[in-house]
A and B are shown apart, each in its own frame.
Chain A
Amino acid sequence: MEEVRLIEIKEEIHSDNTVKAKQLRDSLSKNKTFLLNLMSSPGAGKTTTILKTLEIIGDKLRSSVIEADIDSMVDAEKIAAKGIHAVQLRTGGFCHLDASMVEKGLEGMNLKDFDLVIIENVGNLVCPAEFDTGAIKNVMILSVPEGDDKPLKYPLMFTVCDVLLVNKIDYLSLSDFDIDAMKERVLNLNPKIRIFEISSKTGEGVQAWADWLTNEVKQFTAQ
């Protein structure tokens, strides 16, 4: 019998991605470009919210959008149709974006020309939560029709986000979504998270979120 030896490894499984994400953040800081990673389930309202938010921000910031649609151009075309700079990433059916994919999306653009880049991540509450994209802030959308129990089912996503946008509040009166119970669950998991209630359809609440974002970007780019 040969003797079994132990080799210590002590390495993060995602160490390659973590290193890449850090490099990306350094480069973004140098170029004063604020990268926002937007995550949600399919259909929660990522594209609609991006459009509404950038409509309000207007020319206060020079903005761009990276779309990670699963092999379709639908969302990128919607954004570009509004005259907003958009980049389509080919994710080839991937369940999430990682830092090297985001880096590819940024390659074609001159970072110095943009203050704000929003990534529309792949619609999924599980996988994107585990991969650092290099973003400065992580934001997730939970929409009212999905139900107020999502923080219990996808706790990791709620712990990695800086901001929660509760979207489709125009549906609140039609549903049994308990917004206070949901907030309590989320704050329990992540006491530091900021919560905004919005409807990207009616525009309700979007101004407060857009103001907050503009302010964050300005602070970041002024550094």
Chain B
Amino acid sequence: MHELQVTESILNIALKHAPADKVKKIVAIHLNIGELSDLENEWIQQYFDYLSKNTLAEGAKLVIERIPIRLKCDSCQNEFEIKRDEIKNIKCRQCGNKKCSLIAGRDYFIKNMEVI
């Protein structure tokens, strides 16, 4: 897996938004990651702790919100959420149609961060 590369991007983006004259320390970074991603939460935090040494983000906690998989029915436009293990049996909750389009669940997003 490419957790290391992903973690590096997260750190770089966070530091970019933290001007040294205004931010003393980054305390937490909030991420939205889609349920469809295979990213491992624990690994990201471990890599992050390692990469962020001696930066403003040292010690920051990564708070990961998993974004549910959302589908939209191609036939009746109904939107609904499913769990990852329900993928084997996708069906519109309203009309039973099996053709549905993915509208969320692939997210890979840094929402905001807490700083002092």
Contacting pair A4 B116 (CB below 8 A): yes
Also in contact, A2 and B24, with CB within 8 A (given A10-B112, A16-B9): yes
Indicate if B98 sits at the interface (CB-CB under 8 A).
yes
Q: Report the number of A-B residue pairs with Cβ-Cβ less than 8 Å.
A: 97
Also in contact, A130 and B110, with CB within 8 A (given A7-B17, A159-B102, A185-B88): no
Q: A127–B4 Cα gap in the complex (Å)? A: 12
User: Smallest CB–CB gap between A152 and chain B, Å?
Assistant: 5
User: Smallest CB–CB gap between A91 and chain B, Å?
Assistant: 12
Tell me the interface secondary structure of chain A in the complex. mixed
B79-116 contact mask (Cβ, 8 Å, vs A): 1 or 0: 00000100110100000001111100010111111111
Contacting pair B2 A96 (CB below 8 A): yes
Also in contact, A7 and B18, with CB within 8 A (given A16-B9, A156-B38, A159-B102): yes
Also in contact, A191 and B101, with CB within 8 A (given A10-B112, A13-B31): yes
Q: A130–B6 Cα gap in the complex (Å)? A: 10
Q: Which of B13, B90, B113 contacts A188 (CB 8 A)?
A: B90
Query: Which of under 10, 10 to 19, 20 to 34, or 35 or more describes the interface residues of A?
Result: 20 to 34
Contacting pair B9 A189 (CB below 8 A): no
Contacting pair B2 A12 (CB below 8 A): no
Residues of chain A within 8 A of B6, CB atoms compared: 13-14
Among residues of B, the one whose C-beta sits closest to the C-beta of A154 is B38
Indicate if A180 sits at the interface (CB-CB under 8 A).
no
- In this complex, the member of B87, B100, B112 whose beta carbon has the largest number of chain A beta carbons within 10 angstroms is B87
Q: A191–B97 Cα gap in the complex (Å)? A: 12
Contacting pair A10 B116 (CB below 8 A): no
Residues of chain A within 8 A of B10, CB atoms compared: 13
User: Smallest CB–CB gap between B65 and chain A, Å?
Assistant: 13
Indicate if A195 sits at the interface (CB-CB under 8 A).
no
A146-160 contact mask (Cβ, 8 Å, vs B): 1 or 0: 000001100110010
Also in contact, A13 and B110, with CB within 8 A (given A126-B38, A152-B87): yes
Among residues of B, the one whose C-beta sits closest to the C-beta of A6 is B112
User: Smallest CB–CB gap between A99 and chain B, Å?
Assistant: 13
Tell me the residues in window 162-194 of chain A with beta carbons closer than 8 Å to chain B beta carbons: 184-185, 187-191
Contacting pair B2 A130 (CB below 8 A): yes
Contacting pair A9 B13 (CB below 8 A): yes
Among residues of B, the one whose C-beta sits closest to the C-beta of A14 is B108
Tell me the residues in window 111-147 of chain A with beta carbons closer than 8 Å to chain B beta carbons: 126-127, 130-131
Indicate if B67 sits at the interface (CB-CB under 8 A).
no
Offer 30 A-B interface pairs, CB within 8 angstroms, sorted by A.
A2-B24, A2-B116, A4-B114, A4-B115, A5-B114, A5-B116, A7-B17, A7-B23, A7-B113, A7-B115, A9-B110, A9-B112, A10-B110, A10-B111, A10-B112, A11-B13, A11-B110, A12-B110, A13-B6, A13-B110, A15-B13, A96-B2, A127-B1, A127-B2, A130-B2, A155-B84, A155-B87, A185-B88, A189-B90, A190-B102
Other A-B pairs beyond A16-B9, A95-B2, A189-B90, 6, CB < 8 Å = A7-B113, A9-B14, A11-B13, A155-B87, A156-B37, A189-B87
Closest 4 CB pairs of A and B: A191-B99, A2-B116, A188-B90, A13-B108
